[in-house]
Amino acid sequence: MEKPLVKPPRIKILEAIGSIGDGRVSVISEEEAVVKSSGGEREYRVIVKKISENTFKVYSNDNGTVYRGYVGYPILAFLMVKGVLPIDNEVMNALKNIPWRELNEKYKKYSIVENIVLDRAERMGVKKHIVTDYMNIIMKKLDLLKFIYDDGLART
């Protein structure tokens, strides 16, 4: 089944870059990676195939991608590692070791979790506006790209 994916909630950008900082992204090939969850209990298989300059067929078995229809953080993380989306090392280092699932389940609102994460980044020496500027840059880049979810990729 193929379906277009929408842009993710902004916080997923932070979750993606944090997963890179944590070393939870393992590249298998040019088109495939495995991303471990923040608690380490889950692994997400990610496949990204470039179809045209701005269009990608993608697969990931994370909940955001499969059930909510947006580009999930494992896909974002792989796109960052591949250089399709930029990485800000300062932001990445400030977002290491965040218990994303725990925070999301406890507060059940991305806006609350985002504020907690921004406060933490500031305590780590990275101003909030640096992090929000980075999120804005990624969101603007995502506006220029098209993602088509294709569960058939999982069978390759």
**Using one digit for the tens of pLDDT, what is the confidence trace for 48-65?**
999 999 999 999 999 999
| Cα of 149 vs its chain's centroid, Å | 15
pLDDT digits (tens, 9 = 90+) for 85-137: 999 999 999 999 999 999 999 999 999 999 999 999 999 999 999 999 999 99
82 found inside a domain: yes
pLDDT for the residue 155: 87
156 found inside a domain: no
63 found inside a domain: yes
Number of domains in the chain: 1
66 found inside a domain: yes
- 156 pLDDT more than 80: no
pLDDT digits (tens, 9 = 90+) for 3-54: 999 999 999 999 999 999 999 999 999 999 999 999 889 999 999 999 999 9
Q: What percent of the chain has pLDDT over 70?
A: 100
d(CA 11, CA 132): 10
111's tokens: 């806006």
d(CA 57, CA 146): 9
Beta strands in the chain (DSSP E): 2-4, 25-27, 32-36, 43-52, 55-60, 146-150
Q: What percent of the chain has pLDDT over 90?
A: 96
pLDDT for the residue 1: 85
Domain of residue 32 covers 2-151
Predicted structure pTM score:
0.96
Is the model more confident about 155 or about 131? 131
For the chain, give the mean pLDDT.
Answer: 96
pLDDT for the residue 103: 95
